[in-house]
Amino acid sequence: MHTSKINQESKPVRKLIVLGGGSAGWMSAAFLNHALGKQVQVCLVESPTIGRIGVGEATLPTIKEDFFDFLGIPESEWMPACKATFKMGIKFMNWLKSPEEGGDKYYHCFGEIPSIGEVPLSHILYKKWAEEGGVALDKSCYTSPHYCERHLAPKMSDGRKVEHYAYHIDAQLVADFLRDRSVERGVEHIYDNIVHVHLNEEGNIGWLVGENGDKYEAEMYVDCTGFTGALLGKALGEPWIDFNDTLLTDSAVAINIPGNPKAEQIRPYTSATGMKHGWLWETPLFGRTGNGYVYSSQFVSQEDAEAELRQHFGERAEGRDVRHIRFRTGRRRRSWVKNCVGIGLASSFLEPLESTGLYFVYAALHQFIRHFPSGDVNPVHRKAFNERVSYMVEDVKDFIIMHFITAGRKDTPFWRAAKEVKIPDSLQEILDKQKAGLPIKMSYHGNKSLYSTFESSFDRFWTNSNYQAVLAGVNYLPDEILPILNLRPDLMQKGELQLEKIRKEVRHRLASLPTHYDFLKGIHQPKEVEQVS
């Protein structure tokens, strides 16, 4: 007979130190302080001399529920402080053809493509295409692209939500907002440059030493020092696994451009425009846009990349300062080593094509809380955390690689090289399913799908809807029709009714939704609205 043995001798975690004060650091401090309550003192130590990387940043819808709602912060409180706007998806331009070849565009929007029983509407549409000719999947299966084109809000004037949405935010202001709020709620805030990390006999971090000799000691440490990885990488020696063999971009040049939201309106989507040597993001904030050109230094110099960026924006970029950023894509082999957890860039980085930067922060924090030690760290919990974080990063990596592998452009050496990288086996399986006409990772709603063996929400971060939006957008279409559609003509009839239902809803909403700018006026402070009008 087995009996339970609860370890009463292990030392409980009474204090946790977050090192680093950027958006990852202050998101971690705010989250952990709220989740752990008064049981654990959270202290954040940040350098008074090291600047932040954060720029205008796009997010995913889960940031509302899993972060801001979790902390109990309403949109009316944090959005004005962070110059935030709404985002209903990403508008991809010039990924299929270069501007000289006529260009192209498609939307990758939030939310699930409707299904008729077990058959997604996307695959009913593929059969229609085969029989009748092409129809845009984004504007057929979703309502939001129509609203994006007209710069409308995802909510009615009375606040009722009609579309899935995320946000565009100023990452610097998010860090400032969370800093002030966290300090008010008991987080200890210290400015100091850490010059030494002391490891004890077991190899755990014992304490940190500041430049004036002050010692900072805790049972757990969270490394939010960005690419430096001061704790996880430098002190504990955890190796970095490079993704540069499959993701070619390694640099960016960023520029902020003021705007007049009243005159120009505010786009409720992120733009991702294919360029000669990479792609360019545009993130509309309230009063300006945050923009940047993500490129590969193998194919273009820093100076020429900046020139291409300025040419794209023309007069709007004249006299505006730019910021050059060098980055490395990849992840730590393990994100939790000994008594230290890496969050944000200290743990992993993938280029920002699908707006997953901040998602990795709060998703890892949720995993950390699920496995948080009540005493000595249990290796089983640590291993489970590391497996989950590694899976999330690798899954997103495959999804981003897919954009470049399937893009139609071949006009420059960059685009040709991006198609020649080694395709991970996990991604090849997805591409094979697409060509065979099978849905990819159907969403999980409590019942197993005929087309999926995935059994938890962690395994369906990207669902068939996400894959089809991107693959259909670049004409990477199935070679075969889903077999059941040839056996069940009633499914096609029901699909037609669903397509008409979407068209009807679009007509109704176009006549009733407020503009994005008009809705945001009710959230942002009146004085601020006057200043940018």
Catalogue the active-site residues: 87
DSSP state of 11: P
Pairing of the two strands 288-295 and 89-93: unpaired
Q: 340: which strand partners?
A: 221, 337
| CA-wise closest residue to 285 among 169, 155, 166 | 169
d(CA 273, CA 407): 12
Structure-block tokens of residue 81: 């402080």
Taking phi over 0 as left and psi of -120 to 50 as alpha, with beta for the rest, 111 belongs to left
Q: 102: which strand partners?
A: none
Pairing of the two strands 270-274 and 89-93: parallel
Structure-block tokens of residue 129: 């295409």
DSSP state of 64: I
d(CA 530, CA 514): 19
Residues 6+ apart with CB under 8 A from 231: 19, 197, 205, 221, 223, 225, 340, 342, 346
Residue 332 CA from chain centroid, whole number: 18
d(CA 415, CA 421): 11
Residue 347 CA from chain centroid, whole number: 15
DSSP 302-328: HHHHHHHHHHHHGGGGTT--EEEEE--
d(CA 454, CA 496): 29
Residue type, 515: T
Please report where in the chains the tokens 């499959």 appear, as a residue.
246
Residues 6+ apart with CB under 8 A from 57: 23, 168, 169, 170, 171, 283, 290, 352, 355, 357, 358
d(CA 486, CA 226): 53
Half-sphere exposure of 189 (CA within 13 A, CB side): 20
Rounded to whole angstroms, what are the CA distances from 432 to 130, 435, 451, 471? 19, 5, 14, 12
Please report where in the chains the tokens 């971009």 appear, as a residue.
249
Q: Are 155 and 162 in contact (CB under 8 A)?
A: yes
